[in-house]
Amino acid sequence: MVQNSSEITNNFADGTAGSGGGIQNVAGGSVTVNNTIISNNSANRAGGGIEDNSSVTAGSITLFNVNLDNNEVGSAPGNGGGLHITGPGTAMITNGTVNGNVATAEGGGLWNGSGEMTIDGTTIDANTASGADADQGGGGIFNEGGTLSVLNATVSNNVVDGASGSGGGILNNQGTLTVTDSELSGNSSMRAGGAIEENSVAGNVLTLMNVDLMNNSTASAPGNGGGLHISGPGDSNITGGTASGNTASAEGGAYWNGAGIMTIDGTTVDANTASGADADQGGGGIFNEGGTLSVLNATVSNNVVDGALGSGGGILNNQGSLTVTDSELSGNSSMRAGGAIEDNSVAGNVLTLENVDLMNNSTASAPGNGGGLHISGPGDSNITGGTASGNTASAEGGAYWNGSGEMTIDGTTIDANIASGADADQGGGGIFNEGGTLSVLNATVSNNVADGASGSGGGILNNQGTLTVTDSELSGNTSMRAGGAIEDNSIAGNVLTLENVDLMNNSTASAPGNGGGLHITGEGDANITGGTASGNTASAEGGALWNSVGVMTIDGMTIDGNTAEGADADNGGGGVFNNGGTLNIVNGTAITNNMATGASGSGGGILSTAGDVTITDAALDSNAANRAGGAIELIDGTLTFTTSDMTNNDVNGTAGTAVPGNGGGLHVTGNSGLITISESIVSGNEAAREGGGLWNQSGTMMIVETSTIDSNSSFGTAADDGGAGIFNNGGMLEVNSSTVSNNIASGATSSGGGIHNADGGDVTVMISTISGNTANGSGGGIYNNGISFDINAATIAMNEALANGGGISSLTNTSLKNTLVALNNGANGQDVSGTFASNDYNLIGTDDESVFPEQANDIEEIDPMVGPLQDNGGLTNTHQLLEGSLAYNAGDPADQFNDQIDQAVFDDVRDIGAYEAQEILLSIEDITESGNGIVIYPNPSRGMATVEIPETFGAAIQITIVELGSGKIVNNVSTSFGATELNFNAMADGVYIINATSEEGTSIHRLILSK
């Protein structure tokens, strides 16, 4: 026992293998030293201050308040500058100091053999170990297979300066190491483990509890684990404490794990640096070399990877397994990738982040991918909960960057991250997916930015991978080129899926600025189900959605209040832009309140160029554009519009200044193939110039069937403006089984309240109703200046023109058959004005200009006796024939097709007009002989009869004789008041209707012929 202020100094064991410069404890001995200074002693082999070779397993060395300082051991081999224990001897070291000792090989301060060494409350400072091999070093302490416990201690400023020396503070060589409530600071090594090197074996567990690793470093041979380095398969548990200011020349500024399991719980890992220059080097806070790393309840912050291609500012997981739970990674930075985390993955491995906050991390420009997380290779990842906020990437993936594996993000908030890549396939302010499979669900992706010159995908950029987003919100994201929220740089066969996703208030700038919500580049398809797209803005095209040449299906989505600002005529698509692809809009999708606000912007709701569009069970309402197509602009493509509504859209100033303002609902540009509008409603739309409802172009076939075109307006002032319902600009137009009603061409001299057929146009109207339309110019119902206009079985009634042709104004030839034109109002030509051809069986109420070339079975100058425009069954409103109408059974008996509302021909002969009565309207009981004082005698007649007409009935009297059974007109007679003889000798016996008409009224009578 040595005690009570003793000093053992300046002693030397100078034998070739001499040990224990101050004290040597040999076999079976026990040494206790209290309150003593042991300094400046030296030995050649081991134990410059003390050598224990006692092999005593309990109590062989006890040091209490001992200053074991400035001792030295030589090079044979040179272990334990202060204390060396050979064999299984034990040591208990309490308080005191171990300072300034030097070992040529291992354990500058202390060297433990296979026994147990406990260090409690001791300061171990500025010791040096100079062994050149990788398993040599331990500037403060070396543990050779024993059990080392360090608690309440300070291990500081120790140095390992051998060429590959490791463990500046402690080297644990295949032993067991536990460090508790201690600080290791300012230690350094050449190879690895600035503070601690754990040269582990399978089954061993390193334990650090409330340990602070501060300002330790490892140099460049290679320089791994500035704080802690674990070689081999051993495990480690790190609980509490901090790791701060540590540096590694290559990898793992604070911690470096090998093939074992490392668990870090409740630790703060802050401001450490790793400077490795290669892409798989870095890990400013933690590096995991193929092992299993679990980080929980931890803070990993302000760590730096500054090597040329260094990755993983906070953590680099190199082909291992990484799980991070309930932790924060903030303020970390790297040069190449993974500002917070780099996962250099292999197939089958899964990175797991649970309730992890990635905040304000960054990666620089080599290339600068994954400001928060970067995954290289095919490994998978599961990210649940947590946030990713304020992260920046110089190129791609402000928050997350996925490689070729599967990444699932569930319930995470991804907010205010930035990716600054300048190329069109760079960006992804929130997330970048490089060919992998990305699933985002229950997430919020908001306020992220892709600000590179042509950066795309403010929220997400999917680069030739597979992307599925479910039950999530993407809002407030921005990009420079395209895809304010999402850019899908797709390939053929890939399918983007959005289910119940809300795209809100995203935007893309002017390079060129397409797809404020979603932009698809390439041939990939997209399925969008449910959700909303609202308040998104594109500087050029596709305020909400922009599709390329693939198939985009929009099912049950609400697309509302989006804007496209492109100034050119082929810019726009406030809601949706389709660039040559196939666009399917189905099942209750609502496209509302979208605008194309550019100077010549078109397609407030939809703009499709050279693509195929199918719209079924959808609604386009209150959209607006400046140039054309308030709801839809179609350029060189096809459109099928079925069981859908196109209502209250406009090109009349809502979006800015109308130039020119054509096609309030639909406008067609170029040579589109086929447009079909069926079982639909086009209503309440406005055009500043032409085509309040529909505007068709030369080279296009437009078919309107079983649809209603109602209450649309046009405001063009010239005579060749108008077409409030439909404007046909030289194209081919067919209107079948439809109603064109209550449309108004309100410009000063504009023409065609219902339909305007311009120069070169070819129109066919079949079993349809044109009613209640108004033109301030000519053609209240129809204005024809085209190549041809053929009408069959139509009802054209109750229209009005302030100029010519209340019903029809025809500058070129209009042909009619089975058609009722009556009860219209015009300044000139009440019902008809212009040039006509009759194919017979028509009813013209008034031909005041005598322009209609009446044929044998035509009826003129008669009240048609029709009811108001109303629901008489079917899908469209019609005018029902009333009792006594001469249109009953007056059509061509050879035409047996159904009427407008799909009713079959009744009583063998069709009626004139679009409506087929389903009961007999001209029976004997309906006809009396007492009207207006007219008398017919004899009645029954045997061949001759006299019609006595009083003067009070009026002038310009027309008598029409109709065979009741067939409905056929058999004679027309012009007469005046007084007696008129009628000759029936050439007619068959039966009942005939005698219809007398004057400017004062109509009187209908029956006559029985019985020769």
Q: 232, 176, 170, 173: which is closest to 204 by C-alpha?
A: 176
Return the pLDDT at 1.
79
Q: Is residue 768 part of a domain?
A: yes
Q: How confident is the model at residue 57 (pLDDT cuts 50, 70, 90)?
A: confident
**Maximum distance among all Cα pairs of the chain, rounded to whole angstroms:** 163
Quickly count: other Cβ atoms within 10 Å of residue 974's Cβ. Answer: 10
Q: Which two tokens stand for residue 388?
A: 């990713």
Residue 707 shares a structural domain with residue 836: yes
Gap between the Cα atoms of 321 and 978, Å rounded: 112
Residues 855 and 993 in one domain: no
Q: Does 975 reside within a domain?
A: yes
Alpha-carbon distance 222 to 248, whole Å?
9
* Cα–Cα dist 891/967, whole Å: 8
On whether the CB atoms of residues 154 and 187 are closer than 8 A, the answer is: no
Indicate whether 555 pLDDT > 50: yes
| Residue 976 in this model has a pLDDT that exceeds 60 | yes
Q: What's the number of domains the chain is made of? A: 2
pLDDT of residue 930: 44
Which of 827, 860, 893 is the endpoint of a domain?
Answer: 860
Same structural domain, 984 and 835 = no
Is 117 part of a structural domain of the chain? no
- Per the omega criterion (within 30 degrees of 0), is the bond before 950 cis? no
Strands (E), 515-631: 518-521, 525-529, 532-534, 537-538, 545-547, 551-555, 558-560, 563-564, 576-579, 582-586, 590-592, 595-596, 606-609, 612-616, 619-621, 624-625
Cα 111 from Cα 57, distance rounded (Å): 16
Q: Are residues 856 and 937 in the same domain?
A: no
Q: In the numeric block, which tokens belong to residue 666?
A: 């639909």
Mean pLDDT of the chain: 95
**849 and 707 within one domain:** yes
Mean pLDDT over 40-53 rounds to 95
- The answer on pLDDT for 340 being more than 80 is yes
Three-class SS state of 933:
helix
| Dist CA 1005 CA 1011 (whole Å) | 19
Q: Which residues contact 920 (CB under 8 A, 6 or more apart)?
A: 888, 907
- Min mean pLDDT across 77-81, 449-453, 888-892, 956-960 is at 956-960
**Predicted pLDDT at 924:** 44
- Whole-number Cα distances in Å, 331 to 269, 301, 359, 795, 853: 11, 5, 7, 76, 89
> Three-state DSSP class for 666?
strand
Between CA 284 and CA 288 the distance in angstroms is: 11
Q: In percent, how much of the chain has pLDDT > 90?
A: 89
Summarised one tens digit per residue, pLDDT across range 898-947 is 999 999 999 889 999 999 999 887 544 444 444 578 888 888 788 889 99
How, if at all, do strands 212-214 and 147-151 pair? unpaired
Cβ-based neighbour number of residue 940 at 10 Å: 12
Q: Are 247 and 273 in contact (CB under 8 A)?
A: yes
Residue 731 lies in a domain: yes
Rounded CA gap, 405 and 348, in Å? 9
* More reliable by pLDDT, 985 or 649: 649
What is the CB neighbour count within 10 angstroms for residue 119? 29
Q: What angle do CA 928, 930, 933 make, to 5 degrees?
A: 145
- List CB contacts of 930: < 8 A, sequence separation 6 or more: none
Q: Is 951 in the same domain as 851?
A: no
pLDDT score of 55 more than 80: no
Q: Does any domain span residue 521?
A: no
Query: In sequence order, which residues have a C-beta less than 8 Å from that of residue 567 and are 6 or more positions away?
Result: 598, 599, 600, 601
- Tell me whether residue 711 is in a domain: yes
Give the residue carrying structure tokens 């030839």.
Answer: 813
Per-residue pLDDT, averaged over 825-838, amounts to: 98
Cβ count within 10 A of residue 92: 18
840 and 977 inside one domain: no
CA dist., res. 817 & res. 812, Å (int): 17
Domain boundary at 860, 877, 906, which? 860
Classify 48 as helix, strand or coil. Answer: coil
Single out the residue of 113, 39, 107 nearest to residue 78, CA to CA: 107
> Mean pLDDT, to the nearest integer, of 264-275?
98
**462-474 per-position pLDDT tens digit:** 999 999 999 999 9
**Where is average pLDDT lowest: 110-119, 222-231, 1000-1009?**
1000-1009
pLDDT reading at 369 higher than 80: yes
Asked if residues 39 and 7 have their Cβ atoms less than 8 Å apart, the reply is yes
**Structure tokens given for 871:** 């629901």
Q: In angstroms, rounded to a whole number, what is the distance separating the alpha carbons of residues 1008 and 995?
A: 14
Is residue 693 within 8 Å of residue 682, measured between CB atoms?
Answer: yes
pLDDT at 434: 97
For residue 850, give the DSSP letter: -
> Which CATH number covers residue 947?
2.60.40.3080
Report residue 570 as tokens.
């082929």
% of the chain surpassing 70 pLDDT: 99
Last residue of a domain, one of 841, 860, 879: 860
In contact, 51 and 19? CB cutoff 8 Å: yes
Q: 824 and 709 in one domain?
A: yes
Question: 488: which strand partners?
Answer: 462, 520
Q: What is the pLDDT of residue 58?
A: 73
**Is there a single domain that holds both residue 855 and residue 751?**
yes
Indicate if 844 and 961 belong to the same structural domain.
no
Tell me the β-bridge partners of 639: 613, 675
Residue 981, judged by CB atoms within 10 A of its CB (0-12, 13-18, 19+), counts as: exposed
**First and final C-alpha spacing in the chain:** 160
CB 398, CB 372: distance < 8 Å: yes
Domain of residue 945 covers 931-1011
Asked whether residue 838 is assigned to any structural domain, the reply reads yes
Question: Can you tell me which residue has the tokens 């069970």?
Answer: 617
Same domain, 707 and 819: yes
Report whether 52 contacts 78 (CB < 8 A): no
In a domain, 192, yes or no: no
How far apart CA 169 and CA 155 sit, in angstroms, is 6
| Nearest in space to 523 (alpha carbons), one of 464, 453, 457 | 464
Instruction: Please tell me whether residues 847 and 975 are part of one structural domain.
Output: no
